[in-house]
């Protein structure tokens, strides 16, 4: 869930427990080389190694120093994910999924970039893509900042501009880890992997300068499929999904959109036929569970494409969004010094696709080092339905609290009141205390006191380990710690 932050949050009381540090101690040097996550997916409380003070307040990551300021909000627990790089781990489902998708975008038309560093500038992540200054994605409630100019990339699109500028091939894919402050549930995780893809055509190089014709010709070369995809909307809609009329003709946008959609539908067909063949080869009744495959295009908005779409797949009774895409904004090519190019781009969530491909029920599993999970995956030729090793019992616990009223926070400034409260702050506190022992967190009640105007929230936390049964004492202790942390960090009053 991404909400618009209405106030500037200035919260710095990070807990020792999660390995983060208070504002007074920001000279601390976090050397994440020593912060591999623990062997299990259990509570995610890897402590950073604190080294001797450096002169200026700074954070050290991968041997590089980042100055710390009012924008810094990245906990050490999140930095500890940087070395994992699941998309490069042999036999990991995220890596196998990457390779299956890459095979649909072959070289030399497409160059594959898989080693781009996750720490990028605000300019790369947002400015280069035309994000407006007030876009909610820029807020500290949605994005992990190392400092005001530097973030953990929130998407692989952060590298688009530099690769357009590099101008090496007609297309590319970028696979990488990305980071977002987000909801907690089975399909959302603060670290996940995306693959970006892009394809462009050069006005000066296509036959007779006819881009639309060249694109249709290339489309004919794509593998045919007979998947029926629901696509009820017109390619271009003047208000909802406009043509970049000053740069493209309708024919050009139509051709690029058709090539884009056909390419991505080809990916879906490829993934599902592999999954179905695997299930059938194993004589598995689940082969039928994969059919009928329902897929649909919906209109979308991104600051760097127009028109834009998302592709959704019907999964476990609901529509699951797997990718966003569109016709690349011409300004990106112009700013990258290749104004004569035009084309499409997409960004796909690799975990989301891997969950569909292998029937993996919970996104936390990807981070597991449990051999009962990892041993089930081998190569892209041998895809098989994931067999859960067990389903351990859930334990639901509620926490209700009042936000501080605006008047009581006046002067304090650092605690949540109704203006600057953001749900992602609750999510991060729960994540910091409970780590992967939390399956999901849901808002179950919201209430405004009629007389005082104070706001109250109730969240239901589902504690469930993927690897063992939690004891009562353990869940009680975790929940108690969550409650304390909410009071300490958000200044809420428990009910």
182 binds, among ligand FA5, Mg ion, none (CB under 5 to 8 A by kind): ligand FA5
CB atoms within 10 A of CB 362: 20
Q: Which is nearer to ligand FA5, 44 or 352 (CB)?
A: 352
State the minimum distance, in angstroms, from the CB of residue 145 to Mg ion. Answer: 21
Q: Which is nearer to Mg ion, 166 or 299 (CB)?
A: 299
- Interacting residue ranges for Mg ion, rule: CB under 5 A: 324
Q: Which residue is nearest to ligand FA5 (CB)?
A: 349
State the minimum distance, in angstroms, from the CB of residue 39 to ligand FA5. Answer: 23
Closest by CA position to 253, among listed 329, 321, 190, 182: 329
Closest by CA position to 432, among listed 382, 482, 393, 477: 482
Closest by CA position to 448, among listed 412, 406, 385, 490: 406
Contact 416, 424 (CB under 8 A): no
349 binds, among Mg ion, ligand FA5, none (CB under 5 to 8 A by kind): ligand FA5
Q: Which is nearer to ligand FA5, 47 or 229 (CB)?
A: 229
Q: Which is nearer to Mg ion, 82 or 322 (CB)?
A: 322
State the minimum distance, in angstroms, from the CB of residue 495 to ligand FA5. Answer: 29
Tokens standing for residue 66: 């980042």
State the minimum distance, in angstroms, from the CB of residue 29 to ligand FA5. Answer: 29
State the minimum distance, in angstroms, from the CB of residue 308 to Mg ion. Answer: 10
Q: Which residue is nearest to Mg ion (CB)?
A: 324
Q: How far is CA 360 from CA 320, 351, 366, 414, 427, in A?
A: 14, 9, 9, 40, 23
- Interacting residue ranges for ligand FA5, rule: CB under 6 A: 155, 157, 180, 182, 188-189, 192, 194, 196, 302, 305, 321-326, 345-347, 349, 351-352
323 binds, among ligand FA5, Mg ion, none (CB under 5 to 8 A by kind): ligand FA5
How far is the C-alpha of 419 from the C-alpha of 9, rounded, in Å?
A: 9
Q: Which is nearer to ligand FA5, 193 or 404 (CB)?
A: 193
Q: How far is CA 377 from CA 23, 289, 411, in A?
A: 43, 20, 55
Q: Which is nearer to Mg ion, 118 or 324 (CB)?
A: 324
CB atoms within 10 A of CB 249: 12
For residue 35, give every residue at least 6 positions away whose Cβ sits within 8 Å of its Cβ, in sequence order, or none: 19, 46, 47, 48, 49, 76, 79, 80, 83
Q: Which is nearer to ligand FA5, 181 or 455 (CB)?
A: 181
Kindly report the CA angle at 126 between 237 and 76, in degrees rounded to 5? 130
State the minimum distance, in angstroms, from the CB of residue 347 to Mg ion. Answer: 8
State the minimum distance, in angstroms, from the CB of residue 178 to ligand FA5. Answer: 7
105 binds, among ligand FA5, Mg ion, none (CB under 5 to 8 A by kind): none
CB atoms within 10 A of CB 118: 21
């Amino acid at each position: 869930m991404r909400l618009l932050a209405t106030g500037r949050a200035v919260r710095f009381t990070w807990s020792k427990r999660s390995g983060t540090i208070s504002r007074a101690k920001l000279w601390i040097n976090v050397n994440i080389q020593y912060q591999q996550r623990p062997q299990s997916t259990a509570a995610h409380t890897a402590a950073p190694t604190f080294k001797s003070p450096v002169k200026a307040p700074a954070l050290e990551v991968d041997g590089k120093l980042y100055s710390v300021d009012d924008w810094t909000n990245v906990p050490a627990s999140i930095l500890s994910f940087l070395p994992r790089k699941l998309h490069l781990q042999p036999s990991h489902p995220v890596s196998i999924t990457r390779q299956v998708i890459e095979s649909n975008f072959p070289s030399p038309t497409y160059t594959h970039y898989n080693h781009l560093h996750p720490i990028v500038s605000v300019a790369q992540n947002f400015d280069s893509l035309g994000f407006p200054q007030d876009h909610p994605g820029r807020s500290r409630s949605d994005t992990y900042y190392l400092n005001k100019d530097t973030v953990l990339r929130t998407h692989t699109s952060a590298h688009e501009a530099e690769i357009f500028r590099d101008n090496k091939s007609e297309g590319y894919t970028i696979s990488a880890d990305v980071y977002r402050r987000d909801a907690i549930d089975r399909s959302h995780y603060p670290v996940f992997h995306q693959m970006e893809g892009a394809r462009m055509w050069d006005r000066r190089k296509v036959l007779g300068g006819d881009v639309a014709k060249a694109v249709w010709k290339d489309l004919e070369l794509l593998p045919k499929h007979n998947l029926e995809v629901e696509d009820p909307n017109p390619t271009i809609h003047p208000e909802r999904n406009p043509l970049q009329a000053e740069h493209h003709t309708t024919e050009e946008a139509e051709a690029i959109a058709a090539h884009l959609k056909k390419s991505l539908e080809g990916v879906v067909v490829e993934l599902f036929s592999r999954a179905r063949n695997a299930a059938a080869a194993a004589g598995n009744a689940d082969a039928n569970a994969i059919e009928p495959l329902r897929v649909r295009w919906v209109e979308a908005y991104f600051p760097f494409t127009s028109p834009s779409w998302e592709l959704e797949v019907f999964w476990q009774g609901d529509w699951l969004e797997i990718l966003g895409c569109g016709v690349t904004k011409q300004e990106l090519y112009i700013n990258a010094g290749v104004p004569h190019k035009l084309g499409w781009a997409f960004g796909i969530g690799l975990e989301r696709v891997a969950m569909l491909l292998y029937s993996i029920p919970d996104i936390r599993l990807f981070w597991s080092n449990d051999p009962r999970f990892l041993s089930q995956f081998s190569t892209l030729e041998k895809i098989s339905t994931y067999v859960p090793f067990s389903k351990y019992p859930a334990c639901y616990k509620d926490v209700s609290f009042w936000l501080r009223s605006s008047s009581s926070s006046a002067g304090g400034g650092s605690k949540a009141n109704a203006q600057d409260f953001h749900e992602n702050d609750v999510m991060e506190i729960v994540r910091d205390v409970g780590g992967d022992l939390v399956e999901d967190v849901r808002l179950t009640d919201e209430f405004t006191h009629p007389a005082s105007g104070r706001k109250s929230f109730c969240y239901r936390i589902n504690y469930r380990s993927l690897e063992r049964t939690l004891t009562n004492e353990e869940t009680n202790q975790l929940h108690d710690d969550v409650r304390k942390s909410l009071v300490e960090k958000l200044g809420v009053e428990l009910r």
